[in-house]
Structure formats: C-alpha cells, structure tokens
Structure 1
Amino acid sequence: MLLAAIDETHKGTYDFVYLPIDFKNKCNVGYAFINMVSYSLIISFYQTFNGKKWEKFNSEKVASLAYARIQGKAALVSHFQNSSLMNEDKRCRPILFQGSEAADQVV
C-alpha cells in the first residue's frame, strides 16, 4: 500500500525501499527507508508527502520526512544485507528497484 501511494506521483524515482515490520504484531513500525535515484527528486517528494496525512489509510498520522543516517543505495544494501531481518519473512526484506520495477530483495 505504501508503494502504491508513492507510485501515484513518484513511480520510478526510487531504487530502494524498506518498511520495517514489527514481527510480533505483523504491522509496520511507522517509518520507511526510501532512496531516491537522484537528489534532485527529493524536493518534489518532500513537497508531496511531508506534513500530509495518509488519506488512503485509516490513520490520523502525518508523514514527516527526514534525511537518514545511512545515505545511498550501496550503503543501504551494505547495511541491511547482514541484518538479522534477512532471516525473517522474505516479504519483509528491503526491496531494490530498477526503473519502476522491483528488481530483487537485498540478499
């Protein structure tokens, strides 16, 4: 659902997405890591989502975008490929994208 919401206006602008999941209750923890393919795309993404409610979700929560400590696709892949989350459900792993299509999960 998160990717569908993003793809309405920003399909093909990101190459890495990870939505952390609380494996006990099978819900997301309230934030995601998204790497844009170019820094120039960040402004439009920020203007579209920051401070906005997630209208498609039954929630009063508001999106708040911030720069992550880990920057860039290669650094994100390196960080997560050795994470314990890689031993969890494959559907909950970070996803790599090429263009607008999912290319692979981080392995």
Structure 2
Amino acid sequence: MEKKKPIKSLNPNAPEYLPRFSKNPNLYYPPPSCPSVFNFNKPFPCSTKPCKAITGADVKPEKEPFRYGFCHQRCLPPRLLKKQVVPLPENKLAGKTSVMVKNIPNCLGRTDLLMILDNHCRKHKTESSYDFLYLPMDFVKRANLGYAFVNFTSSVAAERFRREFENFSWGNLGYRKKICEITVAKYQGKEELSQHFKNSRFTCHTDEYLPVVLSPPSNGFTAYTFTTLGDRVSLRGRGSRLR
C-alpha cells in the first residue's frame, strides 16, 4: 500500500492572499516581473539613430475613398464633370454716362424716344434718370438718321439702360431686322455735350429736331422743361437765324 504524504501545515506568517485582477479599479496589482525584450531607455537594437519626431507637416491627408470602387470623376454624367459658372454681367460702358443708341427705326421722333426713356426709368422707381437727348434728323425726309445720344445722371443708370436695350428687337414697330445697339458716346456728360452742340446750326423748320437738356432730369415721374441747344436756320435764307 502506498503511503500518504503528510499534509504540511500552513505558514501563519505568510502574507494575505489577494487576487491579481480585482474588480476595484483603485487597486492595481502589477504582473509578475519578467525580463524585458527591449530597453525603452535606449534606442532599439535595430537602429542606432534617435527616433525623429513626427510633426503635422509629415502627416499626409488620406485620399477620399472612391465610390463603388472606381473613379467617380470619370463616371459622372457630362453635365456634372464641369461645374457651370454663370458669368457676371459685364460693364461694357466702363463707368461712362453718355451712350449712343444705334439702329433706331426711322419713323420714331424725339417725342417717341422720350416716351421710351421715361417708361424705362419708371420701371426702376426713380433709380434711373437722364438729362440730355439728341436725335439727329434728316430735315428733307423728316425722319431720324437711326441713332441718338442720351446722357444719364449716373453710370449705374446708363449700364442699366444698356442691359435692357442691348440686342433689343423693334419687331413691335414692324422692324424685325433692326436690332438695337448701345455703345459709348464720344462726348461724355451733360456739360461736354452741351458745349459741343450749343454753337451748331440746324437747317430745320422746328425746334423738335434740336438737342435738348432736361431740367430737372427725368426719372419717369417728375415734370421737366426743355432747353434747346444750337441755332435753327431757315430753309430759304440758309444764313438767317430764327432765334
């Protein structure tokens, strides 16, 4: 028969046993000491050079992941490949206030053109106004020559008029082939235009063919008076002034 080993008595001086992993987070029991593979106080054995610190400039941003595993730029429809940018309206007058209106129907008179300008200014609620108008006329045929000079009180009002009447068709008057064109006038401002036309002579029978200055400037609502420029010469005398 095998002899039973005697049971050793417990050591009364042994320290109290506590579990290594406790549920109490305030208690920490380090693991048993074991020889470390690396000495973290010295460089790694694979490199004798000190480690370089990594900065934000060294970190490259991650590329946006492709959708569905392929380049989404090539697979987009043509209307989305290039974003359409609506260009801002160009200021062709470059801050000028006097314009030349071309391709006007020959049947229009100064009164008709004044009505068109007043209706335009009335649309913008006194934000646009003009103070000079000259519609050159053929004194024999009594028809305009197809162009006119208008001076607005501000460059914004002149540009607003250009945007509305540039490439405007006169089809409502029966002139579908005539397309209105707005360009910069040679003489700029009411003073310069008045100085240019005040010594001119016009061999016509009525003051309606003469250049006029509007006082006060017309905005489509206020009443104004005409100041004609130049001298009207009689058709018979050719040299005698009528005023």
TM-score by structure 2 length?
0.41
Aligned partners of 1:99, 1:32: CA distance in 2, in Å? 17
Corresponding position: 1:52 with 2:168: yes
Instruction: Indicate the percent of aligned positions where both proteins have the same amino acid.
Output: 31
Distance apart, 1:58 and its partner CA: 2.5
Mean alpha-carbon deviation: is it higher for 8-17 or for 27-36? 8-17
Q: Which amino acid aligns with 2:129?
A: T
In the other structure, the counterpart of 2:226 is 103
Tell me the SS of whatever aligns to 2:151.
Answer: strand
Question: What secondary structure sits across from 2:188 in the alignment?
Answer: coil
Aligned pairs (5 A) from 1:1-107:
1-11=112-122, 13-60=129-176, 61-85=178-202, 87-88=203-204, 89-97=206-214, 98-100=216-218, 101-107=224-230
Aligned counterpart, 2:25: none
Structure 1, residues 18-77: CA drift from partner, whole Å, max 9, x if none?
Answer: 000011100000000000111121221011111101344221211100001111101111
Q: Secondary structure at the match of 1:34?
A: strand
TM-score for the superposition, normalised by structure 1: 0.88
**Structure 2 segments unaligned to the other structure (5+ residues):** 1-111, 123-127, 219-223, 231-243
Runs of 4+ in 1 over 2 A off after TM superposition: 54-58
- The unaligned stretches of length 5 or more in structure 1 are none
- Distance in 2 separating the partners of 1:91 and 1:56: 24
SS across alignment from 1:47: helix
Count of paired positions: 106
CA separation in 2, counterparts of 1:55 and 1:10?
22
Across the aligned residues of Structure 1 and Structure 2, the Cα RMSD in angstroms comes to 1.6
